[in-house]
């Protein structure tokens, strides 16, 4: 999208509130007429009365009152215009910000695989603020300048076409300077905006990963990286200042000075008998009022460049294709899962899953095991519909996952991730997540995951905020809370992605019993490293480098003495060594 297309698209938002824009335009036009009236009244006084030494009291009082009224009216109308236009601008920014955010949260997860969170935050906040400056400063000033210059030129022409021609020569020169300034400043403003985004991204990532940075002793390296970006941004800003220093006020002042000298020369050549002193005063006054908005408009061009760069980024997000879902909105009626010849790659080059085949009936227990990078979590993400299928087939409840709507998928299948996100809100809000769920169902879910007793002893129970004050959940409690979120609505298929990894063995046994009681109503898929947690699974898929190397029950796989048997033996040996260490430390005490 070209800069002209971006600007045109941004300006079209002004027409969303046609009535408000029309009222603002009407106020501006009347204000321009009031601005023109003041010098015109003084011209009448100088040429028609002062030059003739004729001073009728009533007329002079009328001119004085008219001048004061025009000045007051102009100020009031400009205030009303600025206030109304600011409201329109803020409304547009809010609309764009909402659209950008809605577009971001509806994009497929693949869109976030390689984009730092800090850059997205910068676009939603900083770039939309740049758009506000576009409407409040640039567009408002442009309309004000156009209205004022038009009114002034009409008034000048009525006074003296000859002098108006001299002033009119100034305008094309200003347009040329503005065009050349935009051409020279655009690259610098683009670099400045990109570097500012990178700075925000580094800051955001550094704060989020502060523990890792300090743990690995990388404070100096991150400081140097931030300093380097800051220095580059400073260099770019200096370039912008140099361009502004040359093309903004100095050139406009020079051209207005030339115009003023020309007016004075023509006045001296033709004489006061042809051109009155009042006319010259009015022209000089109008010239000053014309050049000031031109200088202001030139200064606003820097904001225009920033807004166009910001608009490009924001429209890129707004126009991104959302996650594609099907049209079948019927609820998933059973928990059958069928996977046929499934192949997937994140980048289209390196396969992560290759020719996966598996199936499990409703109420079954499917386990996915394998070393890190074997494709377990990727397969679970495909079951959740986070990524579109590339090859093969995946059916949920006998229906292709690509045919299901988002609503059908999210109500029929749920996942508890290894590192669940906890909101800075109450327990109730963290469980319901905006859904209409009764407190009885919440307590029932908390009871199933062994959190009910903990919440009951809190000062305000379900209304207790998490993450503020003295209430902070451990990693295991966060996973139990995430499990309670999905149990309140009883999905047909429940996926646990290492959801019991940070839970102590006693709590894990309670969760296992709760899941066992739910197996007759839902299908359970568990990704696990601890093989003891999946010993009673109906089917275990052993993944290795994206392939299904083995599948079967726990006993069948042990009898085969393949990769699963090796993994089991290693874990058993490790557990035995830990037990011996505990015994030895107990005897030493």
Strands across the sheet containing 337-345: 351-360, 337-345, 391-396, 399-400
Tell me whether residue 332 is in a domain: no
Here the CATH number for the domain that contains residue 404 is 3.40.50.300
Buried b (16+ CB within 10 A) or exposed e, 31-51: bbbbbbbbbbbbbbbbbebee
3-state class (DSSP) for residue 371: coil
**CB count, 10 Å around CB of 269?**
9
Q: Which residue has the tokens 């576009």?
A: 134
d(CA 468, CA 460): 13
| DSSP run (H or E) holding 437 | none
Q: Is the pLDDT of residue 511 over 70?
A: no
Q: Note the pLDDT of residue 271.
A: 45
> Given 283, 318, 353, which residue is the final one in a domain?
318
pLDDT in tens, 305-363: 777 777 777 887 777 777 777 788 888 888 888 888 888 887 777 888 888 888 888 88
pLDDT band at 291 (very low <50, low <70, confident <90, very high): low
Segment of 115-119, 202-206, 298-302 carrying the highest mean pLDDT: 202-206
Compute the residue count for the chain: 589
Q: How confident is the model at residue 182 (pLDDT cuts 50, 70, 90)?
A: low
Q: Tell whether 247 is covered by a domain.
A: yes
Residue 559 lies in a domain: yes
Burial of 99 by CB count in 10 Å (0-12 exposed, 13-18 middle, 19+ buried)?
middle
- pLDDT computed for residue 263 by the predictor: 58
Are both 420 and 504 inside the same structural domain? yes
Q: Which residues pair with 523 in a beta bridge?
A: 493
Rounded to whole angstroms, the Cα distance separating 396 from 527 reads: 18
Number of helical (H) and strand (E) elements in the chain, helices listed first: 21, 10
pLDDT value at position 274?
Answer: 47
Instruction: Assess whether 344 and 223 both reside in one domain.
Output: no
Please report whether residue 549 resides in a domain.
yes
CATH of the domain at 13: 1.20.1560.10
User: Measured between alpha carbons, how far is 367 from 538 in angstroms, rounded to an integer?
Assistant: 8
Confidence class for position 275, pLDDT limits 50, 70, 90: low
Range with lowest mean pLDDT among 158-162, 453-457, 495-499, 577-581: 577-581
Element of type H or E holding 366: strand 365-369
In terms of phi and psi (left: phi > 0; alpha: psi -120 to 50; beta: otherwise), the region of 423 is beta
Asked if residue 526 has pLDDT above 70, the reply is yes
Burial classification of residue 24, based on how many CB atoms lie within 10 Å of its CB (0-12 exposed, 13-18 middle, 19 or more buried):
buried
Residues 132 and 44 reside in one and the same domain? yes
What 3-state class would DSSP assign to 212? helix
Contacts of 275 (CB under 8 A, 6+ apart): 160, 162, 163, 266, 267
Position 468 confidence tier, pLDDT thresholds 50, 70, 90: low
Give yes or no: residues 156 and 34 share one domain. yes
Q: What is the pLDDT of residues 551-568, one digit of tens each?
A: 888 888 888 888 888 887
- For residues 224-244, give the mean pLDDT: 81
Sheet holding 539-544, edge to edge: 413-416, 493-497, 523-527, 365-369, 539-544, 547-552
Structure confidence at residue 273 (pLDDT): 43
Cα(26)–Cα(408) distance, integer angstroms:
51
Whether 313 and 357 share a structural domain: no
- pLDDT tens digits, 99-154: 888 887 777 766 666 566 666 776 777 777 777 878 877 788 788 778 877 887 78
The tens digit of pLDDT for each residue in 377-425 reads 888 888 888 888 888 888 888 888 888 888 888 888 888 877 777 777 8
The 3-state DSSP class for residue 524 equals strand
302 close to 186: Cβ distance less than 8 angstroms: no
Same domain, 15 and 99: yes
Domain count along the chain: 2
User: Residue 551 CB: number of other CB atoms within 10 A?
Assistant: 17
Mean model confidence pLDDT for the chain: 77
Q: Which of 89, 87, 77, 32 is nearest to 290 (CA)?
A: 32
Query: Average of pLDDT values for 213-221?
Result: 73
Looking at 253, 288, 318, the residue that finishes a domain is 318
Q: What is the rounded distance in angstroms from the CA atom of residue 455 to the CA atom of residue 326?
A: 40
Residue 431 pLDDT > 60, yes or no? yes
The pLDDT assigned to 479 comes to 77
Q: Do 279 and 392 share a structural domain? A: no
247 with 351, same domain: the answer is no
Helix (H) or strand (E) holding 126: none
Residue 262 shares a structural domain with residue 144: yes
Burial class (CB in 10 A: 0-12, 13-18, 19+), 370: buried
The Cα–Cα gap between 536 and 42 comes to: 98
| Residues of the chain above pLDDT 90, percent | 0
Print burial letters for 504-534: b (CB count within 10 Å at least 16), e (below 16): eeebbeebbebbeebbeebbbbbbbeebebb
- Residue 40: HSE in the Cβ half-sphere, 13 Å Cα cutoff: 19
**pLDDT per residue as tens digits for the range 64-85:** 888 888 888 888 888 888 888 8
CB-CB contact of 261 with 287 (8 Å): no
Where is mean pLDDT largest: 91-95, 245-249, 477-481, 511-515?
91-95
How many CA atoms does the CB half-sphere of 202 hold within 13 Å? Answer: 17
Computed from CA positions of residues 264, 269, 271, 276, in that sequence, does the dihedral angle turn out positive or negative?
negative
Looking at the DSSP assignment, which residues form a beta bridge with residue 493?
A: 413, 523
- The reported pLDDT for the residue numbered 290 is 67
Whether residue 343 is found in the same domain as residue 305: no
Of 79-88, 162-171, 526-535, the poorest mean pLDDT is in 162-171
Indicate whether 490 pLDDT > 60: yes
Largest CA distance in the chain: 122
- Pair 466, 363 in one domain: yes
Q: Is residue 226 part of a domain?
A: yes
Cβ neighbours, 10 Å, residue 457 = 8
Residue span of the structural domain in which 248 resides: 3-318
* Whether 375 and 241 share a structural domain: no
């Amino acid at each position: 999208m070209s800069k002209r297309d971006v600007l045109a698209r941004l300006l079209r938002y002004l027409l969303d509130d046609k009535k408000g824009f029309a009222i603002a335009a009407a106020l501006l036009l009347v204000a321009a007429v009031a601005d023109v009236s003041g010098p015109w009244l003084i011209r009448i006084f100088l040429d028609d009365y002062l030059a003739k030494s004729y001073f009728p009291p009533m007329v002079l009082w009328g001119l004085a009152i008219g001048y004061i009224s025009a000045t007051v009216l102009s100020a009031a109308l400009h205030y009303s215009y600025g206030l109304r236009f600011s409201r329109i601008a803020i409304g547009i920014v809010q609309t764009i910000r909402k659209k950008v955010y809605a577009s971001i949260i509806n994009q497929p997860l693949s869109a976030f695989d390689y984009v730092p969170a800090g850059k997205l935050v910068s676009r939603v906040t900083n770039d939309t603020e740049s758009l506000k400056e576009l409407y409040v400063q640039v567009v408002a000033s442009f309309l004000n300048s156009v209205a004022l210059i038009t009114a002034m030129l009409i008034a000048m022409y009525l006074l003296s076409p000859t002098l108006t021609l001299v002033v009119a020569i100034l305008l094309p020169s200003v347009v040329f300077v503005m065009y050349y300034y935009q051409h020279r400043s655009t690259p610098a403003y683009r670099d400045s905006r990109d570097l500012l985004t990178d700075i925000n991204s580094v800051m955001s990532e550094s704060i989020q990963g502060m523990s890792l940075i300090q743990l690995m002793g990388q404070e100096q390296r991150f400081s140097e990286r931030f300093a380097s970006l800051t220095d580059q941004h400073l260099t770019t800003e200096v370039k912008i200042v140099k361009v502004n220093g040359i093309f903004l006020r100095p050139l406009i002042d020079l051209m207005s000075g030339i115009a003023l000298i020309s007016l004075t020369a023509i006045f001296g050549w033709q004489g006061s008998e042809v051109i009155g002193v009042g006319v010259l005063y009015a022209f000089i006054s109008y010239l000053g009022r014309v050049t000031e908005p031109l200088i202001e408009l030139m200064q606003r061009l820097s904001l225009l460049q920033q807004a166009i760069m910001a608009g490009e980024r924001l429209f890129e997000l707004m126009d991104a294709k959302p996650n594609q879902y099907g049209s079948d909105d019927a609820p998933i009626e059973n928990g059958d899962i069928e996977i046929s010849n499934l192949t997937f790659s994140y980048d289209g080059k390196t396969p992560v899953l290759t020719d996966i085949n598996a199936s499990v009936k409703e109420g079954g227990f499917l386990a996915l095991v394998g070393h890190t990078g074997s494709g377990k979590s990727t397969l679970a993400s495909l079951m959740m519909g986070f990524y579109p299928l590339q090859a093969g087939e995946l059916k949920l409840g006998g229906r292709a996952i690509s045919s299901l709507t988002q609503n059908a998928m999210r109500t029929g299948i749920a996942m508890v991730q290894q590192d669940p996100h906890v909101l800075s809100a109450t327990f109730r809000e963290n469980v319901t997540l905006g859904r209409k769920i009764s407190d009885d169902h919440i307590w029932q879910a908390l009871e199933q995951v062994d959190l009910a007793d903990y919440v009951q002893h809190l000062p305000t129970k379900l209304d207790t905020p998490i993450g503020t004050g003295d209430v902070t959940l451990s990693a295991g409690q966060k996973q139990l809370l995430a499990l309670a979120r999905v149990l309140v609505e009883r999905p047909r298929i429940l996926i646990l992605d290492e959801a019991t990894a940070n839970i102590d063995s006693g709590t894990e046994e309670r969760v296992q019993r709760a899941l066992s009681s739910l197996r007759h109503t839902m299908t359970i898929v568990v990704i696990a490293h601890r093989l003891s947690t999946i010993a009673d699974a109906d089917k275990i898929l052993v993944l290795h480098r994206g392939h299904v190397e083995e599948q079967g029950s726990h006993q069948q796989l042990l009898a085969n003495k393949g990769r699963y048997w090796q993994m089991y033996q290693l874990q058993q040996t490790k557990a035995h060594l830990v037990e011996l260490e505990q015994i030895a430390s107990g005897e030493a005490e």
